[in-house]
Amino acid sequence: MQTDSSFTFVLFGGTGDLSMRKILPALFEAHRAGGMLADSGKIVAVARHAADRVEYLQWVNEHVKPHVSKNGVDEAAWTSFLARIEFVKIDLGNPEDFVQLRDAVRDLPGIRVFYLATGPSLFVPICHALASVGLNENARIVLEKPLGYDLKSSNAINDAVGEIFAEEQIYRIDHYLGKEPVQNLLALRFGNALFEPLWRREWVESIQITIAEELGVEARGDFYDNTGALRDMVQNHLLQLLSIVAMEPPHSMDSDSVRDEKLRVLRALKPIDPNEIGKVAVRGQYHAGGIRGTPVPGYVTEPGVKPDSTTETFVALKVEIENWRWAGVPFFLRTGKRLADRVAEIVVNFRPVPHSALGVSALRAGANRLVIRLQPNETIRLYCLAKQPGEGMNLASVHLDLAFDQFFREGQMEAYQRLLLDVINGRLALFVRRDEQEAAWRWVEPILNEWTASRKPPKPYAAGTWGPAAASAMLAQHGTCWLEEEN
């Protein structure tokens, strides 16, 4: 992916955890690869926790280096990368400080990208301050999640930002959309005659989408206790993945064609009946337990969490899409913290053959499935049945692998690297449009409201397990189970 696009990348929250672990490492990898970033491109970090550029670069050396280049850091590339970085010390709460930022970037080349790696409460003040010094022209702005607490607050932020930046200037980032297997899911469906005819209710029995984390809330207890898993993961990541899986073929891969089809899926989600929430939605909260033999505390004893908190750390949902392609096919969504493994995957279970002369194994559910693994190792695996060697017609499950790191010699591009290059080059297809976000909030809000009104506590689960038993029972009612339970 070559580019001649000159740019000035302004990173708000330049000393924050996201900048250190994801954004700056992604920019370094693009720089190290050569040709992905214009030689004239500059990075301007904005923060108030460093005194000057020298101190900031020391901070970067200490906190960014551990997250780059698994095979070691190329020191020459690292030195030339640091030469791209400038630093501006300002107080984001003081609009007058933005004059210093304007002066620092005034003569720098190319499109300006403003990445807001800050809390959402600062999005609107930063945008107003940028406009006050004329920095909203010839610019793109990247907004990290969460964008609001509910539909009303999300609309308030979008309205305020939309007064300053046009919709085509706004990049609402969801890093799961930048992952290689998600891109390959589109290639598999729309580039091959094999899958698309099967990608419908006649041939698909159910679909599971899981994002599981071994980690707890870490140092984010204050934030997470006012957010919860439904807002933090379902409203954005899981519903975005669902829309990619279920969308109709777009007429092209341009940004609005793709996002139009995703929006149609979100608008076709069957509304959740408040009286049925207990049957189709499970919320849980982890208690003390163990992760790979190491004891870990319960959620309510984590720093920043209220001792009587009823915030959910686990959600499982049964979702239906009311359209011709997917009517009657259950989509099971699941996410949680302190689960048994760190994994993100999409499991497409195809229907068994209608009649088999080969024995009952050919009729069992899950005999044919596609597993798209997003993390930790990015692979696509197609399961089917084959005859075991030897006497008799004994069938066994076998799989075909697309392991990207083995098949393609060139290294994989990390999600943030791909998305940051898309921002610099003005490609919007992998970013969330405002109407998509609104449709997701409209669907999620009745669940949030019912959970708040009912005052029922989340179901407990021990850290290191796969969540409350009710999540498994929900699938059992449909004659299926989560993938790890079958194995």
Give which of 389, 404, 399, 320 is closest to 366, Cα–Cα.
399
* SS3 track for 127-139: HHHHHHCCCCCCE
- Choosing from 67, 175, 237, 287, which is the catalytic residue? 237
CA distance 225 to 333: 21
- By three-state DSSP, how is residue 206 classified? strand
- For 356, which DSSP code? -
- By three-state DSSP, how is residue 275 classified? helix
Instruction: Say whether 399 is catalytic.
Output: no
Angle (CA) 268 270 275, round 5°: 160
Cross-strand bridge partners of residue 348: 207, 370
Cross-strand bridge partners of residue 291: 294
Measured CA distances, 163 to 127, 156, 175, 327, 428 (Å): 9, 11, 26, 39, 19
Task: Locate 184 and state its tokens.
Answer: 């390959």
Measured CA distances, 333 to 85, 118, 139, 181 (Å): 41, 28, 36, 18
Q: Report the Cα 98 to chain-centroid distance in Å.
A: 31
- By three-state DSSP, how is residue 318 classified? strand
- Helix, strand, coil shares of the chain as percentages rounded to 5? 40, 20, 40
289 phi, psi to nearest 5 deg: -170, -150
Q: Name residues whose C-beta falls within 8 Å of residue 61's C-beta, 6 or more positions apart in sequence.
A: 82
Q: Which residues carry out catalysis?
A: 237
